[in-house]
């Protein structure tokens, strides 16, 4: 299907990109890999008057690993993450989740910034940034600001971004070497969006879990952190009884709607199983 008409610009700096976005009264959109935006334009779900292509903004492509954690530039692609061996130790949960994103071709072009800005409730990256308390750095006409991932996602395809803002980078807090984690996803076919997924991590404190984080994907209109499940895990030894309690608490904490892929009741049960498996993987 042909795209609606649009103007095109390919800036080389963040400030130039922001100025271009601001010049079109909310009618311009950044273009990352085009993996969601171009189909949305083809289906007339989006009709921006100007596309601001970010591919030549080199500073958006960096992966930085420091004592403060991992920082991904918005234009880092799934493939860049999977090919960067440092991330296997610097942030293994991130790598485990990205292994479930789409197929080879899409991973060559899809970006972390595009995924977060697109805010698909079934996408892995929004779930990981919420689970990990990541900070999302954005730049707009009014300057730079940082948005906590937990405040960023407001509904399906809805975020806290203003029309003239671009995501510049995503910062993940330091990942301790001995942290335990699990990521489990159920999709109809490998590479499809998640029907339900769970990301879990905790720190081991003499055989008991501390600092538990539990995030779920695909069971609400945006990714969720489940504090009730974290409360079940914190201070406890991870054994069969605890895992069963965490599974039941997960299912009780969510209220997914029916859709064309599955009933809400099915997803409620499924996401409990995802948390159960993720906890088992973390404990193993
Ligand atoms: C067949 C198929 C299967 C897929 N399967 C999965 C999957 O299993 N899991 C998954 O998570 N994803 C999946 N995806 C999505 C894909 O991985 C991309 O993450 C997603 O499409 C975003 O693509 P993009 O980075 O090319 O962004 P684009 O399509 O270029 O942009 C998407 C949106 O983000 C905005 N945007 C882009 N960059 C920025 C920025 N820096 N700042 C502000 N706004 C920005 C754009 O204006 C647009 O609104 C799939 C996509 C396809 C086509």
pLDDT, one tens digit per residue, over 100-149 is: 999 999 999 999 999 999 999 999 999 999 999 999 999 999 999 999 99
User: 124: Cβ below 6 Å to ligand 1?
Assistant: yes
This prediction's pTM: 0.97
Q: How far is the C-alpha of 214 from the C-alpha of 243, rounded, in Å?
A: 13
* Average pLDDT of the chain, as a whole number: 96
Ligand 1 pocket: which of 110, 127, 193 to mutate (most atoms within 8 A of CB) = 110
Q: Are strands 7-9 and 50-53 parallel, antiparallel or unpaired?
A: parallel
Query: How far apart are the CA of 201 and the centre of ligand 1, in A?
Result: 26
CA separation for the pair 117, 111 (Å, rounded): 10
Question: Which atom from ligand 1 is nearest to the alpha carbon of 161?
Answer: 43
Query: Among residues 223, 67, 5, which one has the least CA distance to residue 132?
Result: 223
Residue to substitute in 56, 118, 146 for testing ligand 1 pocket (most ligand atoms within 8 angstroms of CB):
118
* 259 three-state secondary structure: coil
- pLDDT tens digits, one per residue of 183-218: 999 999 888 889 999 999 999 999 999 999 999 999
Give the whole-angstrom CA distance, residue 129 versus residue 120: 13
Pocket probe for ligand 1: among 3, 13, 36, the residue whose CB has the most ligand atoms within 8 Å is 36
The model's pLDDT over 147-166, given as tens digits with 9 standing for 90+, comes to 999 999 999 999 999 999 99
pLDDT over 90 for what percent of the chain? Answer: 95
Which runs of consecutive H residues, i.e. helices, occur in 132-263?
149-152, 227-233, 240-253
- CA distances, 271 to each of 42, 43, 83, 95, 278 (Å): 33, 31, 29, 21, 10
Task: Measure 111 CA to ligand 1 centroid, in angstroms.
Answer: 6
β-bridge mates for residue 71, sequence order: 64, 171
Angle at 241 between CA 240 and CA 243, to 5 degrees: 65
CA distances from 191 to 152, 194, 275 (A): 25, 8, 20
């Amino acid at each position: 299907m042909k795209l609606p008409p649009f103007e095109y610009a390919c800036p080389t700096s963040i400030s130039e990109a922001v100025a271009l976005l601001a010049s079109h009264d909310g009618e311009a959109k950044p273009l990352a890999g085009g993996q969601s935006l171009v189909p949305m334009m083809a289906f007339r779900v989006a009709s921006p008057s100007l596309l601001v292509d970010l591919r030549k903004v080199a500073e958006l492509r960096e992966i930085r690993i420091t004592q403060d954690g991992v920082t991904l530039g918005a234009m880092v692609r799934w493939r860049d993450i999977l090919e960067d061996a440092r991330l296997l130790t610097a942030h293994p949960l991130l790598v485990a989740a990205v292994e479930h994103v789409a197929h080879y071709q899409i991973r060559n072009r899809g970006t972390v910034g595009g995924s977060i800005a697109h805010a698909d409730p079934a996408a892995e990256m929004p779930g990981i940034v919420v689970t990990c308390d990541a900070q999302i750095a954005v730049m707009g006409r009014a300057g730079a600001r940082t948005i906590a991932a937990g405040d960023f996602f407001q509904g399906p395809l809805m975020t806290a971004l203003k029309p003239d803002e671009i995501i510049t980078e995503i910062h993940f807090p330091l990942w301790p070497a001995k942290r335990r984690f699990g990521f489990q996803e159920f999709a109809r076919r490998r590479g499809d969006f998640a029907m339900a997924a769970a990301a879990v991590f905790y720190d081991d404190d003499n055989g008991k879990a501390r600092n538990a984080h539990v995030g779920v994907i695909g069971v609400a209109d945006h990714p969720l952190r489940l504090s009730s499940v974290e409360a079940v895990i914190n201070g406890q030894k991870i054994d069969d009884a605890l895992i069963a309690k965490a599974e039941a608490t997960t299912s009780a904490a969510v209220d997914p709607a029916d859709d064309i892929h599955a009933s809400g009741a099915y997803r409620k049960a499924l996401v409990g199983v995802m948390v159960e498996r993720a906890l088992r993987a973390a404990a193993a």
